[in-house]
A and B are shown apart, each in its own frame.
Chain A
Amino acid sequence: MIRLNCDKKFRELIDRSFVEEVSEGERQLIHGHIRDCDGCKRYVELTARTIRGLREFTFTPDPDSKAQVREILADHAGTMRQHNVQFKIWAAFAVALSMSFVGSALVYQVTKRLAVPMHFDTAQLQAGVLIFWLLPSFCAALCLLAAPRENRGIA
Protein backbone atom coordinates (compact mmCIF):
# COMPACT_ATOMS: atom_id res chain seq x y z
CA MET A 1 0.00 0.00 0.00
CA ILE A 2 1.58 3.28 -1.10
CA ARG A 3 1.26 6.03 1.45
CA LEU A 4 0.95 9.07 -0.76
CA ASN A 5 1.56 11.60 1.99
CA CYS A 6 5.09 10.31 2.58
CA ASP A 7 6.16 9.68 -1.00
CA LYS A 8 7.83 12.94 -1.90
CA LYS A 9 9.70 13.44 1.34
CA PHE A 10 10.98 9.92 1.54
CA ARG A 11 11.76 9.54 -2.12
CA GLU A 12 13.92 12.62 -2.02
CA LEU A 13 15.67 11.14 0.98
CA ILE A 14 16.02 7.79 -0.79
CA ASP A 15 17.49 9.47 -3.87
CA ARG A 16 19.89 11.35 -1.63
CA SER A 17 20.94 8.14 0.09
CA PHE A 18 22.03 6.70 -3.26
CA VAL A 19 23.70 9.82 -4.63
CA GLU A 20 25.09 11.63 -1.59
CA GLU A 21 26.02 10.85 1.96
CA VAL A 22 23.22 10.58 4.47
CA SER A 23 23.53 10.35 8.21
CA GLU A 24 23.10 7.10 10.08
CA GLY A 25 19.88 8.47 11.54
CA GLU A 26 18.47 9.16 8.08
CA ARG A 27 19.50 5.71 6.95
CA GLN A 28 17.68 4.16 9.89
CA LEU A 29 14.68 6.32 9.06
CA ILE A 30 14.58 4.97 5.51
CA HIS A 31 14.95 1.38 6.68
CA GLY A 32 12.18 1.85 9.22
CA HIS A 33 9.94 3.49 6.67
CA ILE A 34 10.28 0.96 3.89
CA ARG A 35 9.30 -1.82 6.26
CA ASP A 36 5.81 -0.37 6.28
CA CYS A 37 5.61 1.37 2.92
CA ASP A 38 5.47 -0.84 -0.16
CA GLY A 39 5.69 2.08 -2.57
CA CYS A 40 8.92 3.40 -1.11
CA LYS A 41 10.29 -0.13 -0.77
CA ARG A 42 9.74 -0.68 -4.47
CA TYR A 43 11.25 2.71 -5.18
CA VAL A 44 14.42 1.72 -3.29
CA GLU A 45 14.60 -1.59 -5.14
CA LEU A 46 14.17 0.05 -8.54
CA THR A 47 16.77 2.69 -7.79
CA ALA A 48 19.26 0.09 -6.60
CA ARG A 49 18.54 -2.03 -9.67
CA THR A 50 19.03 0.96 -11.96
CA ILE A 51 22.37 1.83 -10.43
CA ARG A 52 23.47 -1.81 -10.52
CA GLY A 53 22.42 -1.96 -14.17
CA LEU A 54 24.45 1.17 -14.93
CA ARG A 55 27.52 -0.56 -13.54
CA GLU A 56 26.95 -3.53 -15.81
CA PHE A 57 27.98 -1.79 -19.01
CA THR A 58 31.38 -2.94 -20.17
CA PHE A 59 32.83 -1.32 -23.23
CA THR A 60 35.36 -3.48 -24.97
CA PRO A 61 38.40 -1.32 -25.42
CA ASP A 62 40.09 -1.18 -28.78
CA PRO A 63 43.29 -3.19 -28.16
CA ASP A 64 45.34 -0.84 -30.33
CA SER A 65 44.03 2.41 -28.95
CA LYS A 66 46.56 2.77 -26.14
CA ALA A 67 49.46 2.06 -28.46
CA GLN A 68 48.07 4.57 -30.97
CA VAL A 69 47.78 7.24 -28.31
CA ARG A 70 51.33 6.60 -27.11
CA GLU A 71 52.58 6.88 -30.70
CA ILE A 72 50.71 10.14 -31.28
CA LEU A 73 52.02 11.54 -28.02
CA ALA A 74 55.59 10.62 -28.94
CA ASP A 75 55.19 12.41 -32.30
CA HIS A 76 53.75 15.50 -30.66
CA ALA A 77 56.42 15.51 -27.99
CA GLY A 78 59.09 15.42 -30.73
CA THR A 79 57.48 18.32 -32.58
CA MET A 80 57.15 20.32 -29.39
CA ARG A 81 60.80 19.68 -28.55
CA GLN A 82 61.81 20.99 -31.99
CA HIS A 83 59.72 24.11 -31.55
CA ASN A 84 61.23 24.56 -28.13
CA VAL A 85 64.76 24.29 -29.52
CA GLN A 86 63.96 26.85 -32.22
CA PHE A 87 62.56 29.23 -29.67
CA LYS A 88 65.61 28.88 -27.45
CA ILE A 89 67.94 29.52 -30.38
CA TRP A 90 66.18 32.70 -31.41
CA ALA A 91 66.02 33.84 -27.80
CA ALA A 92 69.76 33.21 -27.41
CA PHE A 93 70.44 35.07 -30.65
CA ALA A 94 68.42 38.05 -29.45
CA VAL A 95 70.28 38.09 -26.14
CA ALA A 96 73.67 37.72 -27.84
CA LEU A 97 72.86 40.51 -30.29
CA SER A 98 71.75 42.93 -27.63
CA MET A 99 74.80 42.05 -25.49
CA SER A 100 76.96 42.64 -28.53
CA PHE A 101 75.68 46.18 -28.96
CA VAL A 102 75.52 47.00 -25.26
CA GLY A 103 78.98 45.49 -24.74
CA SER A 104 80.37 47.50 -27.65
CA ALA A 105 79.03 50.72 -26.17
CA LEU A 106 80.61 49.91 -22.80
CA VAL A 107 83.92 48.88 -24.37
CA TYR A 108 83.93 52.08 -26.39
CA GLN A 109 83.43 54.20 -23.25
CA VAL A 110 86.21 52.39 -21.36
CA THR A 111 88.59 52.48 -24.33
CA LYS A 112 87.98 56.19 -24.78
CA ARG A 113 89.20 56.88 -21.24
CA LEU A 114 92.19 54.54 -21.53
CA ALA A 115 93.15 55.88 -24.97
CA VAL A 116 93.49 59.52 -23.85
CA PRO A 117 97.18 59.20 -22.84
CA MET A 118 97.89 57.38 -26.11
CA HIS A 119 96.50 60.21 -28.23
CA PHE A 120 94.14 58.06 -30.37
CA ASP A 121 91.44 60.08 -32.08
CA THR A 122 87.74 59.19 -32.02
CA ALA A 123 87.67 57.64 -35.50
CA GLN A 124 90.51 55.29 -34.61
CA LEU A 125 88.77 54.27 -31.41
CA GLN A 126 85.50 53.63 -33.20
CA ALA A 127 87.24 51.58 -35.87
CA GLY A 128 89.05 49.57 -33.19
CA VAL A 129 85.86 48.79 -31.27
CA LEU A 130 84.08 47.94 -34.50
CA ILE A 131 86.79 45.56 -35.76
CA PHE A 132 87.90 43.99 -32.48
CA TRP A 133 84.61 43.92 -30.52
CA LEU A 134 81.38 44.61 -32.38
CA LEU A 135 82.02 42.51 -35.49
CA PRO A 136 83.38 39.43 -33.66
CA SER A 137 80.56 39.47 -31.12
CA PHE A 138 77.99 39.97 -33.88
CA CYS A 139 79.49 37.04 -35.79
CA ALA A 140 79.38 34.92 -32.65
CA ALA A 141 75.65 35.68 -32.31
CA LEU A 142 75.10 34.77 -35.97
CA CYS A 143 76.95 31.49 -35.45
CA LEU A 144 74.14 30.44 -33.09
CA LEU A 145 71.74 30.53 -36.01
CA ALA A 146 74.13 29.08 -38.56
CA ALA A 147 75.32 26.07 -36.54
CA PRO A 148 73.80 22.69 -37.47
CA ARG A 149 70.80 21.91 -35.25
CA GLU A 150 72.36 18.91 -33.55
CA ASN A 151 75.46 20.92 -32.60
CA ARG A 152 73.54 23.71 -30.87
CA GLY A 153 74.47 23.07 -27.31
CA ILE A 154 71.98 25.44 -25.75
CA ALA A 155 68.97 23.21 -26.35
Chain B
Amino acid sequence: MTLNTTAETETARIARGLRERDMELLADLVERCQHRLVRYLLYLTGRRDYAEDLAQETWVRVLQRGSQYNGRQRFDPWLFAIARNLAIDYLRKKGKAVQTALPNDRDAMLLLPSSGPSPFEAAARSEDAIRLAGQLQILSPLYREALLLRFQEDLSLPEIAQVLGAPVTTVTSRIYRGLAALRSAFEEGGDSPEL
Protein backbone atom coordinates (compact mmCIF):
# COMPACT_ATOMS: atom_id res chain seq x y z
CA MET B 1 0.00 0.00 0.00
CA THR B 2 2.77 2.36 0.99
CA LEU B 3 4.81 1.31 -2.01
CA ASN B 4 1.86 1.91 -4.33
CA THR B 5 1.24 5.32 -2.82
CA THR B 6 4.91 6.19 -3.21
CA ALA B 7 4.91 5.02 -6.83
CA GLU B 8 1.79 7.07 -7.58
CA THR B 9 3.29 10.11 -5.97
CA GLU B 10 6.46 9.65 -7.97
CA THR B 11 4.68 9.33 -11.33
CA ALA B 12 2.39 12.24 -10.48
CA ARG B 13 5.42 14.34 -9.58
CA ILE B 14 7.07 13.44 -12.89
CA ALA B 15 3.89 14.23 -14.82
CA ARG B 16 3.59 17.62 -13.13
CA GLY B 17 7.26 18.39 -13.73
CA LEU B 18 7.04 17.48 -17.39
CA ARG B 19 3.92 19.62 -17.83
CA GLU B 20 5.76 22.55 -16.29
CA ARG B 21 8.96 21.76 -18.22
CA ASP B 22 10.90 21.56 -14.99
CA MET B 23 14.52 21.37 -16.11
CA GLU B 24 15.72 20.03 -12.76
CA LEU B 25 13.34 17.13 -13.00
CA LEU B 26 14.40 16.46 -16.57
CA ALA B 27 18.05 16.48 -15.57
CA ASP B 28 17.20 14.01 -12.81
CA LEU B 29 15.36 11.75 -15.27
CA VAL B 30 18.30 11.91 -17.69
CA GLU B 31 20.61 10.92 -14.86
CA ARG B 32 18.43 7.96 -13.94
CA CYS B 33 17.32 6.70 -17.35
CA GLN B 34 19.91 7.69 -19.96
CA HIS B 35 22.00 4.56 -19.61
CA ARG B 36 18.99 2.26 -19.82
CA LEU B 37 17.56 4.23 -22.72
CA VAL B 38 20.78 3.90 -24.73
CA ARG B 39 20.91 0.20 -23.88
CA TYR B 40 17.33 -0.30 -25.08
CA LEU B 41 18.01 1.59 -28.31
CA LEU B 42 21.16 -0.43 -28.79
CA TYR B 43 19.17 -3.64 -28.54
CA LEU B 44 16.65 -2.22 -30.94
CA THR B 45 18.98 -0.87 -33.61
CA GLY B 46 22.11 -2.96 -33.00
CA ARG B 47 24.17 0.19 -33.53
CA ARG B 48 25.83 2.27 -30.84
CA ASP B 49 25.93 5.49 -32.93
CA TYR B 50 22.23 5.23 -33.74
CA ALA B 51 21.43 4.54 -30.13
CA GLU B 52 23.24 7.65 -28.87
CA ASP B 53 21.59 9.92 -31.45
CA LEU B 54 18.17 8.49 -30.81
CA ALA B 55 18.54 8.83 -27.06
CA GLN B 56 19.16 12.57 -27.46
CA GLU B 57 16.19 12.86 -29.79
CA THR B 58 14.03 10.98 -27.31
CA TRP B 59 14.81 13.42 -24.51
CA VAL B 60 13.99 16.37 -26.75
CA ARG B 61 10.66 14.71 -27.51
CA VAL B 62 10.07 14.21 -23.78
CA LEU B 63 10.65 17.93 -23.26
CA GLN B 64 8.33 18.89 -26.11
CA ARG B 65 5.52 16.45 -25.37
CA GLY B 66 5.90 15.97 -21.66
CA SER B 67 2.35 17.12 -21.07
CA GLN B 68 1.12 13.93 -22.77
CA TYR B 69 2.46 11.81 -19.92
CA ASN B 70 -0.52 11.34 -17.61
CA GLY B 71 1.34 9.98 -14.58
CA ARG B 72 -0.98 6.98 -14.24
CA GLN B 73 1.59 4.51 -15.53
CA ARG B 74 5.28 4.27 -14.82
CA PHE B 75 7.51 6.70 -16.66
CA ASP B 76 9.91 4.12 -18.11
CA PRO B 77 7.48 2.35 -20.49
CA TRP B 78 6.32 5.73 -21.77
CA LEU B 79 9.91 6.77 -22.38
CA PHE B 80 10.75 3.52 -24.16
CA ALA B 81 7.63 3.81 -26.33
CA ILE B 82 8.77 7.26 -27.50
CA ALA B 83 12.25 5.92 -28.17
CA ARG B 84 10.85 3.00 -30.12
CA ASN B 85 8.71 5.17 -32.38
CA LEU B 86 11.64 7.46 -33.03
CA ALA B 87 13.90 4.50 -33.78
CA ILE B 88 11.49 3.19 -36.38
CA ASP B 89 11.22 6.61 -38.03
CA TYR B 90 14.97 7.11 -37.80
CA LEU B 91 15.76 3.81 -39.46
CA ARG B 92 13.28 4.63 -42.17
CA LYS B 93 14.91 8.00 -42.79
CA LYS B 94 18.40 6.53 -42.72
CA GLY B 95 17.45 4.42 -45.66
CA LYS B 96 17.64 1.24 -43.67
CA ALA B 97 14.14 0.47 -44.70
CA VAL B 98 13.39 -1.33 -47.88
CA GLN B 99 10.00 -1.91 -49.31
CA THR B 100 8.92 -5.20 -47.87
CA ALA B 101 5.84 -7.22 -48.39
CA LEU B 102 4.35 -5.25 -45.55
CA PRO B 103 5.29 -1.65 -46.35
CA ASN B 104 2.85 -0.23 -43.82
CA ASP B 105 3.94 -2.40 -40.97
CA ARG B 106 6.10 -0.22 -38.72
CA ASP B 107 7.56 -3.31 -37.07
CA ALA B 108 8.88 -4.45 -40.45
CA MET B 109 11.46 -1.66 -40.22
CA LEU B 110 13.04 -3.42 -37.26
CA LEU B 111 13.39 -6.70 -39.08
CA LEU B 112 16.19 -5.32 -41.17
CA PRO B 113 19.60 -6.60 -40.16
CA SER B 114 21.92 -4.05 -38.66
CA SER B 115 25.38 -3.59 -40.07
CA GLY B 116 28.73 -2.81 -38.44
CA PRO B 117 30.50 -4.38 -35.48
CA SER B 118 28.44 -6.07 -32.82
CA PRO B 119 27.98 -3.95 -29.71
CA PHE B 120 26.87 -7.07 -27.86
CA GLU B 121 30.27 -8.71 -27.98
CA ALA B 122 31.80 -5.57 -26.51
CA ALA B 123 29.24 -5.57 -23.73
CA ALA B 124 29.43 -9.24 -22.79
CA ARG B 125 30.83 -9.59 -19.28
CA SER B 126 30.81 -13.35 -18.83
CA GLU B 127 31.51 -16.47 -20.83
CA ASP B 128 27.81 -17.15 -21.18
CA ALA B 129 27.16 -13.59 -22.31
CA ILE B 130 29.89 -13.93 -24.94
CA ARG B 131 28.18 -17.04 -26.26
CA LEU B 132 24.88 -15.21 -26.36
CA ALA B 133 26.33 -12.14 -28.08
CA GLY B 134 26.60 -13.81 -31.46
CA GLN B 135 23.04 -15.09 -31.22
CA LEU B 136 21.78 -11.69 -30.12
CA GLN B 137 23.34 -10.01 -33.12
CA ILE B 138 21.51 -12.24 -35.58
CA LEU B 139 18.30 -12.36 -33.57
CA SER B 140 15.43 -10.27 -34.88
CA PRO B 141 15.33 -6.92 -33.07
CA LEU B 142 11.67 -7.60 -32.32
CA TYR B 143 12.65 -10.54 -30.12
CA ARG B 144 15.76 -8.82 -28.82
CA GLU B 145 13.87 -5.82 -27.52
CA ALA B 146 11.19 -8.00 -25.90
CA LEU B 147 13.90 -9.98 -24.09
CA LEU B 148 15.65 -6.84 -22.94
CA LEU B 149 12.48 -5.23 -21.63
CA ARG B 150 11.54 -8.36 -19.71
CA PHE B 151 14.86 -9.56 -18.32
CA GLN B 152 16.99 -6.44 -18.05
CA GLU B 153 14.42 -3.73 -17.52
CA ASP B 154 12.13 -6.05 -15.57
CA LEU B 155 9.03 -4.53 -17.10
CA SER B 156 5.80 -6.42 -16.69
CA LEU B 157 4.17 -7.98 -19.74
CA PRO B 158 1.42 -5.28 -19.94
CA GLU B 159 4.12 -2.61 -19.71
CA ILE B 160 6.08 -4.22 -22.53
CA ALA B 161 2.87 -4.41 -24.54
CA GLN B 162 2.43 -0.68 -23.96
CA VAL B 163 5.95 0.02 -25.22
CA LEU B 164 5.60 -2.18 -28.29
CA GLY B 165 2.03 -1.19 -29.02
CA ALA B 166 1.22 -4.88 -29.33
CA PRO B 167 -1.06 -7.30 -27.48
CA VAL B 168 0.33 -9.14 -24.45
CA THR B 169 0.01 -12.45 -26.33
CA THR B 170 2.32 -11.13 -29.05
CA VAL B 171 4.79 -9.97 -26.43
CA THR B 172 4.89 -13.36 -24.69
CA SER B 173 5.24 -15.09 -28.02
CA ARG B 174 8.23 -12.91 -28.92
CA ILE B 175 9.85 -13.56 -25.55
CA TYR B 176 9.40 -17.33 -25.83
CA ARG B 177 10.75 -17.39 -29.39
CA GLY B 178 13.65 -15.15 -28.45
CA LEU B 179 14.50 -17.39 -25.51
CA ALA B 180 14.32 -20.45 -27.71
CA ALA B 181 16.74 -18.88 -30.18
CA LEU B 182 19.20 -17.87 -27.47
CA ARG B 183 18.98 -21.20 -25.67
CA SER B 184 20.42 -22.83 -28.74
CA ALA B 185 23.70 -21.01 -28.02
CA PHE B 186 24.17 -23.42 -25.11
CA GLU B 187 22.90 -26.51 -26.78
CA GLU B 188 25.69 -28.68 -28.09
CA GLY B 189 25.49 -28.79 -31.86
CA GLY B 190 22.10 -27.14 -31.69
CA ASP B 191 21.08 -25.01 -34.64
CA SER B 192 19.47 -21.73 -33.86
CA PRO B 193 15.94 -21.39 -35.11
CA GLU B 194 15.63 -18.93 -37.96
CA LEU B 195 14.04 -15.81 -36.58
Footprint of B on A, CB under 8 Å? Answer: 15, 18-20, 46-47, 49-62, 65-66, 68-70, 72-74, 76-77, 80
Contacts and interface: CB of A to CB of B under 8 A. Distances in A.
A56 B151 contact: no
A60 B39 CA distance: 9
A52 B183 CA distance: 11
Interface in B161-190: 172, 175-176, 179, 182-183, 185-187
A84 B119 CA distance: 41
B39 A19 contact: no
Interface in B144-162: 147-148, 150-152, 157
A58 B119 CA distance: 10
Given A56-B129, A57-B124, A69 B179 contact: no
Contact of A77 (B21, B133, B182): B21
Given A50-B186, A73-B23, A66 B56 contact: no
Nearest to A18: B179
A76 B152 CA distance: 31
B117 to A, nearest CB: 14
Interface string B19-56: 00101001100110011001100100000000010011
Contacts of A49: 128, 186
Given A69-B55, A77-B23, A46 B187 contact: yes
Given A19-B176, A50-B185, A69-B55, A55 B30 contact: no
Contacts of A51: 151, 179
Given A53-B132, A54-B132, A72-B59, A61 B23 contact: no
Nearest to B181: A50
